């Protein structure tokens, strides 16, 4: 099969690369062409554009690069049509990808599969109309999306498992470093437990949340604070917040850090789920502008009840979400205290973490998705072959029926022509006979008239002779 994939960011590159690997396991003839990144390129195939040439975040950057965005979209559509893949696999990135899906549905016969569905349960729920219209199959990695799509919107989807759960399981099964070794490797205090700070991966997130996280954690002197540095953020940016504080930072070691943490302060996003899967009690912290207004909008406008994946999956408040008007240092510190060892909130949260883990299931998301996708495409190809065969048979039957109709029509026309010729010949014969009869009668009439004329001449001659004889006498 020929697979065309489109991603727009680093996380999409990671998920798509794993899906490609899984597709190669089920489809030995798999061919790939894609808009993606380095991880996808490592799996093989042809990269048309790097996702870094596509991704623009925020209103102003998007506005400034509209020409480039439209040009990339046009290039993508033309390339798909030219390559003629069996399927186009869209990975998250809904602004770009839903436009591609609309084009495919309207202008081609190529199905669009969506891997990692757009988060319309959080915002832009109206996009369900285009999804139902343009997406042939949707693959979800969050179990709560199943009732959202299938029950609320009557749109069947495939839940294939959660890749984060798979990644954490894989890491934990292979990671054997103990607490002391981890501390010595990262210049940490081996005698104090760790409070992990996961402040996000974007500059604005870090700016908004990290100062308050540090202020909260500093109140717990029996613990050491360790920040998980995001790969995309420079040390100099972190230094502005960490200077003069006891906070230490580790880079590219989020999973090892969580493996040895007692508690954590975490911004919303995938990090909340990762923290739960490492069985680390947490408090979710997320500062917003205009907190009162945001709280009002969250209660009355937004369509989801929670901001953290842990609570969304559990469908209840497993972890405290300190955002908007609840984002206050004292309140966050109080919630952190409640989940430290020996506190009741800790055991309750750990128990409910296990429920979250059960809801995620044991499927390996890319493997499950690859099997379903390949099976669907095989069935689609068989259906297309069957339809083509049925169409060919129908066309052959129609042609045979048309030929038979033409033959019968020709026979009918020949028979009609023959009958017409016979009728014309008969009419001609009758006309000839009538003409002959007329001629015969005309001859007979002329003969009769001639006889009568001869008779009159004879009588006249006789009378003349009689007259002459009488005169002689």
Q: What is the pLDDT of residue 297?
A: 67
Q: What is the pLDDT of residue 238?
A: 93
Is 295 a residue whose pLDDT tops 90? no
pTM for the structure as a whole: 0.78
Burial of 234 (0-12, 13-18, 19+ CB in 10 A): exposed
Q: Is residue 389 within 8 Å of residue 348, measured between CB atoms?
A: no
Over residues 128-142, the pLDDT tens digits come to 999 999 999 999 999
195 and 264 housed in the same domain: yes
Q: What percent of the chain has pLDDT over 70?
A: 94
Point out which residues pair with 339 in neighbouring strands. none
Question: Would you say residue 117 lies in a domain?
Answer: yes
Over residues 159-213, the pLDDT tens digits come to 999 999 999 999 999 999 999 999 999 999 999 999 999 998 888 889 999 999 9
Element (H, E) at 401: helix 365-472
Which residue from 392, 369, 365, 379 is spatially nearest to 86, judged by alpha carbons? 379
Question: Would you say residue 443 lies in a domain?
Answer: no
Over residues 366-409, the pLDDT tens digits come to 999 999 999 999 999 999 999 999 999 999 999 999 999 999 99
Residue ending a domain, choose from 160, 178, 196: 160
Average pLDDT score over residue span 144-172: 95
Pick from 22-26, 83-87, 341-345: least confident: 341-345
Is 278 a residue whose pLDDT tops 80? yes
Question: Would you say residue 376 lies in a domain?
Answer: no
| Three-state SS at 29 | coil
Residue ending a domain, choose from 345, 360, 375: 360
Tokens of 36: 């993606």
DSSP letters for 427-473: HHHHHHHHHHHHHHHHHHHHHHHHHHHHHHHHHHHHHHHHHHHHHH-
Confidence of residue 55 (pLDDT cuts 50, 70, 90): low
194 and 318 housed in the same domain: yes
Range of the domain at 106: 2-160
DSSP letters for 290-316: SHHHHHHHHHHT-S-S-SSHHHHHHTS
Domain with 75 in it: what CATH number?
Answer: 3.40.50.2000
* Greatest Cα-to-Cα distance within the chain, rounded to the nearest angstrom: 195
194 and 143 housed in the same domain: no
Question: Would you say residue 374 lies in a domain?
Answer: no
Question: Would you say residue 246 lies in a domain?
Answer: yes
Q: What is the pLDDT of residue 67?
A: 62
Question: Would you say residue 454 lies in a domain?
Answer: no
297 and 267 housed in the same domain: yes
131 and 270 housed in the same domain: no
Higher-scoring residue by pLDDT: 413, 472: 413
187 and 291 housed in the same domain: yes
| Cα gap 337→347, rounded to integer Å | 13
Is 60 a residue whose pLDDT tops 50? no
Mean pLDDT score of the chain: 90
Sign of CA dihedral 248, 251, 257, 262: positive
Residue ending a domain, choose from 160, 194, 226: 160
Element (H, E) at 136: none
Q: What is the pLDDT of residue 21?
A: 97
Q: What is the pLDDT of residue 302?
A: 67
What is the count of structural domains for the chain? 3
156 and 170 housed in the same domain: no
Q: Is residue 369 within 8 Å of residue 22, measured between CB atoms?
A: yes
152 and 115 housed in the same domain: yes
Average pLDDT score over residue span 98-114: 96
Over residues 241-260, the pLDDT tens digits come to 999 899 999 998 999 999 99
Confidence of residue 300 (pLDDT cuts 50, 70, 90): low
Question: Would you say residue 320 lies in a domain?
Answer: yes
Pairing outcome for strands 194-198 and 261-266: parallel
Q: What is the pLDDT of residue 379?
A: 96
Is 49 a residue whose pLDDT tops 80? yes
180 and 84 housed in the same domain: no
Q: What is the pLDDT of residue 62?
A: 47
Q: What is the pLDDT of residue 58?
A: 45
Q: What is the pLDDT of residue 409?
A: 93
194 and 226 housed in the same domain: yes
115 and 190 housed in the same domain: no
18 and 139 housed in the same domain: yes
Question: Would you say residue 19 lies in a domain?
Answer: yes
């Amino acid at each position: 099969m020929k697979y065309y994939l489109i991603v727009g960011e680093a996380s999409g590159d990671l998920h798509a690369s794993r899906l490609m690997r899984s597709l190669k396991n089920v489809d030995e003839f798999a061919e790939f062409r894609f808009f993606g990144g380095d991880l996808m390129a490592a799996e093989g195939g042809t990269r048309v554009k790097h996702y870094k040439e596509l991704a623009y975040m925020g209103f102003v950057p998007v506005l400034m690069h509209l020409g480039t965005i439209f040009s990339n979209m046009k290039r993508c559509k033309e390339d798909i049509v030219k390559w003629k893949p069996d399927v186009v696999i869209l990975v998250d990135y809904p602004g770009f990808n839903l436009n591609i899906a609309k084009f495919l549905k309207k202008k081609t016969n190529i199905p669009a599969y969506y891997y990692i569905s757009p988060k319309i349960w959080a915002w832009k729920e109206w996009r369900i109309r285009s999804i139902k219209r343009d997406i042939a199959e949707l693959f979800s990695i969050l179990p709560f999306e199943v009732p959202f799509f299938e029950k609320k919107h009557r749109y069947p989807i495939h839940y294939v498992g959660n890749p984060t759960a798979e990644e954490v399981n894989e890491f934990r099964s292979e990671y054997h470093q103990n607490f002391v070794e981890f501390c010595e490797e990262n210049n940490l205090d081996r005698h104090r437990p760790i409070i992990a700070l996961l402040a996000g991966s974007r500059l604005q997130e870090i700016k908004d949340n990290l100062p308050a996280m540090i202020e909260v954690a500093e109140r717990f002197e029996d613990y050491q604070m360790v920040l998980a540095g995001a790969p995309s953020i420079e040390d100099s940016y972190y230094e502005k917040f960490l200077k003069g504080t006891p906070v230490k930072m580790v880079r590219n070691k989020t999973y090892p850090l969580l493996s040895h943490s007692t508690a954590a302060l975490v911004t919303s996003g995938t990090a909340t789920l990762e923290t739960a899967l490492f069985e680390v009690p947490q408090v979710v912290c997320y500062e917003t502008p205009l907190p009162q207004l945001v709280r009002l909008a969250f209660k009355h406008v937004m369509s989801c009840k929670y901001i953290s994946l842990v609570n969304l999956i559990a469908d209840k408040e497993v972890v405290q979400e300190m955002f908007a008007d609840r984002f206050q240092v004292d309140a966050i510190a109080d919630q952190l205290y409640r989940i430290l060892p020996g506190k009741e909130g800790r055991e309750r949260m750990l128990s409910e973490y296990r429920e979250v883990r059960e809801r995620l299931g044991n499927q390996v998301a890319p493997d499950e998705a690859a099997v379903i996708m390949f099976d669907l495409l095989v069935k689609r190809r068989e259906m297309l072959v069957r339809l083509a065969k049925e169409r060919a048979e129908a066309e052959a039957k129609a042609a045979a029926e048309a030929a038979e109709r033409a033959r019968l029509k020709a026979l009918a026309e020949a028979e009609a022509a023959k009958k017409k010729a016979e009728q014309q010949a008969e009419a001609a014969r009758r006309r000839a006979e009538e003409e002959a009869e007329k001629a015969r009668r005309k001859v007979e009439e002329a003969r009769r008239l001639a006889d009568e004329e001869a008779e009159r001449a004879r009588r006249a001659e006789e009378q003349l002779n009689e007259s002459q004889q009488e005169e002689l006498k």
